[in-house]
Amino acid sequence: MSAGPAGGLSAVAVNMLGVVEHPALGDTPYRVDADGHPYLPAGDGGLVLGVRLGDPVSAVAGDHVAPGACLVHTEPAARYALVSYACIGNPAEVRTGRAAGARGAVIGKRGEDGRVITGFRQEDLARMRPGDQVTVRACGQGWQHPDVPPGVVVMNAGPGLLAALPVAWPGGGPVTVGVRAILPSKLAGNGIGRPAAAWDLDLQLPAGPAADGLPPGTDRVLLGDLVAVTDLDVRHNMGYRKGWLTVGVVVHGTSPLPGHGPGITPILTGPAAALSAVTDVTGHRGLTETVLELQ
């Protein structure tokens, strides 16, 4: 994917080194779920096999499970930079270990200490291990994407990504995005008040009867789906702003922790007059392995 000039400025690409994360736990294995029950978090970071874009967000009994390999860096400042500059769709290549030379792509990011979620073919993931070095060709953060009006801010999206997603700008009207669901901002959990360029937003999707009355599609969310959140502005930290809309890619699965849930990496934010979403409960296709050429 090339980045031509837009808005007067060209995008810059930076090769950055990430390291496949090893999961880390404290000296007790347990966390406490929303009902007060202890559980052992499986799949929270690191390298996970068998979980793929297109899977339901609650398909596995894990905690914040992401589809592929999470990259970190041993230096905290370098880790923040890696997470801040990596964008969805950016190419990644394994540099060391048995899978050296394997090519993948950035699927999304996670916040707090920071992780870049990278997707690879399953046979490549099976040959990778924590500690393997992966280079990410980071490009797109802060860049004005062509064919997006100035009122809409694009974040975390590599050049060419929007063209591969159900994002359209018909007839000079608002940018229109096809999504699995349009959710109210009160479902925004961990990530609210944090910088969207380096932190995902967990969606607190209630299960069972508690989900009654929530918008269509809420119970059908898949990894890679686009989801919109109303009254949410993520340009300068993520926060409540009446009449705004934010669209993100679902990059990891659900979590038993209160205030957590499937996370979106935001890619578009703007006032409702400039950015709108259309729900497609059954036919929606967001970020897929085909889009990322992982098949």
Partner 1 sequence: MNVTSNARRLVRQILTGEVWPPLGDRHVYRTGPDGQAFALPGMGGMTLGVHCGDPATGYASDHLEPGASVRHCDPGANMALQFLTCVGNAVRIESGPAAGAVGHVIGQHAYVLVDFAAPVAEQVTTGDAVTVTAVGQGLALPGHPAIVVKNCDPGLLAAMPGGTRPDGRLEVHVAARIPAEAVGAGAGMVSEYANTDLMGAYAGLGGDLSLGLEGLRIGDIVAVAGADHRFGRGYRPGFLTIGVISTGQCMLFGHGPGPSSLMSGPEDAFALVDDPDANLAAWLHDETEPGQ
Which residue matches tokens 């801010």? 153
For partner 1, the closer of residues 260 and 284 by Cβ is 260
Rounded to an integer, what distance in angstroms lies between the CA atom of residue 245 and that of residue 230? 5
Contact status, residue 150 vs residue 163, Cβ threshold 8 Å: no
Nearer Cβ to partner 1 (161/229): 229
CA dihedral 188, 194, 198, 199 (to 10 degrees): -30
For partner 1, the closer of residues 104 and 111 by Cβ is 111
Residue whose CB is less far from partner 1, 15 or 30: 30
Nearest distance from residue 18's CB to partner 1, in Å?
Answer: 24
Residue 241 beta carbon to partner 1: minimum distance, rounded to whole angstroms: 5
Which phi and psi angles does 185 have, rounded to 5°? -65, -20
Cβ 38 to partner 1 shortest distance, Å: 10
Q: Name the residues that contact partner 1, by CB under 8 A.
A: 32-36, 184-194, 202, 204, 206, 210, 231, 233, 235-244, 257-260
Q: How far is CA 192 from the centre of its chain?
A: 15
From residue 8, alpha-carbon distances to 20, 140, 152 in Å are 36, 14, 17
Cβ proximity to partner 1, 32 vs 42, nearer residue = 32
Q: Between 17 and 273, whose beta carbon lies closer to partner 1?
A: 273
Minimum distance from residue 15 beta carbon to partner 1 (Å): 25
The nearest distance, CB 100 to partner 1, in angstroms, is 37
User: To the nearest whole angstrom, how small is the minimum distance from the Cβ of residue 219 to partner 1?
Assistant: 15
Contact 152, 253 (CB under 8 A): no
Q: Could you tell me if 252 and 150 are in contact, meaning their C-beta atoms sit under 8 angstroms apart?
A: no
**In whole angstroms, what is the distance from residue 48 CA to residue 44 CA?**
9
